[in-house]
A and B are shown apart, each in its own frame.
Chain A
Amino acid sequence: MSSFVDGNALGGVLSEVFAVDLTGARGRCADCGHVAPIGETRVYDRAAGSVARCSGCDAVLVRVVVAPGRIFLDMHGLSFLEIPLENSL
């Protein structure tokens, strides 16, 4: 069984891109509609990049590839991301 961690593991790289924390933001899986905080997604980070999968259906939600001086971010597996506006951080 390939082991996974969770969306908290994406917090670091996403924090270099976004000014707000996204691990607490809820995302909707574009495949099955399951809504959950990014912190609860199944993250496979022992790969060429990090892949966050839906904890409901395993569909790919987010892919992150870190290259020198830049980050490639694909979030098309999420049909939305709900980001709270008043951020405690």
Chain B
Amino acid sequence: MGRLTWQVATVAAITEETPSASTLVLDVAGWSSHLAGQHVDVRLTAPDGYSAQRSYSIASAPTAGSVEITVQRVPDGEVSGYLAGIARPGDQIEIRGPIGGYFVWPPPHGDGGAPVLLVAGGSGIVPLMAMVRARADRTPFRLIYSVRGPGDAIYAPELSRRVRDDRGLDVAYAYTRAAPDGWHGTIGRLDAGRLAADGWPADFRPNVYVCGPTGFVEKVADLLVAAGHEADRIRTERFGPTGGKA
């Protein structure tokens, strides 16, 4: 792999996923590959030399020459406000990556064939979506996606299509504040019951990936351990409290 350095990335396209989240396709010369779950660090520099840096999970499956990130605009976020609000195709930013060898699927050591449980809180869906997109095989996947309301769910149309067309992928939503019309389930935070109903039983020994705000991840990881899942088969990625990585 070798040591990483900052590289120039050119914004090739921007797609709005929700009113507050956008996907940027970045052209990076020499970008060869990455693993699902990895992230990039993004650095922006203003003409006066001021710079700011944040981390964003890679949303795309590996593709030579380009990488996609999905950015959730955070209130008063100086970097997310730029990326998901001001940036246009042709603009240049700096990125460093791909980064990460812990929160990746397939896991570097151990049971790559085990069923996979993905638990996403808000924008924590991004690295897990890369895993869904990279899957392309028969590994059984279950995704539990906790959002405030249906309008906050990123990638919803694609997830529906994949549930229909890909085989062995199940997606369950947990709505914490507002549910879609016709919803018969509860509204509220994820609890042990939802994890049991929509996840894998502990004795299936799934590889588990939990991503989202710190509080969400801590709570879900605790619930999974309490339900009998092995702690070292649960991999976590905590964003800051607002849901963005720092």
Contacts and interface: CB of A to CB of B under 8 A. Distances in A.
A–B touch (CB < 8 A): the answer is yes
Interface of A: 3-9, 11-12, 15-24, 37-40, 45-46, 84, 87-89
A23 B4 contact: no
Contacts of B96: 12, 15-16
Interface of B: 1-5, 35, 39, 41, 55, 96-97, 99-103, 108-109, 214, 235-241, 245-246
B241 A89 contact: no
Nearest to B40: A12
Which residue among A11, A19, A39, A46 has the maximum number of chain B CB atoms within 10 Å of its CB? Answer: A11
B241 A3 contact: yes
Contact of B100 (A5, A21, A84): A21
Contacts of B39: 8, 11-12
A20 B4 CA distance: 10
Contacts, number: 93
A63 B240 CA distance: 19
A14 to B, nearest CB: 9
A77 B144 CA distance: 36
Contacts of B236: 6, 39-40
B101 A5 contact: no
Nearest to B234: A40
28 contacts: A3-B214, A4-B214, A4-B238, A5-B214, A8-B39, A8-B99, A8-B102, A8-B237, A9-B246, A11-B102, A12-B55, A12-B96, A15-B96, A16-B5, A19-B2, A20-B1, A20-B101, A23-B101, A24-B101, A24-B108, A39-B236, A40-B102, A45-B246, A84-B108, A87-B101, A88-B35, A88-B108, A89-B101
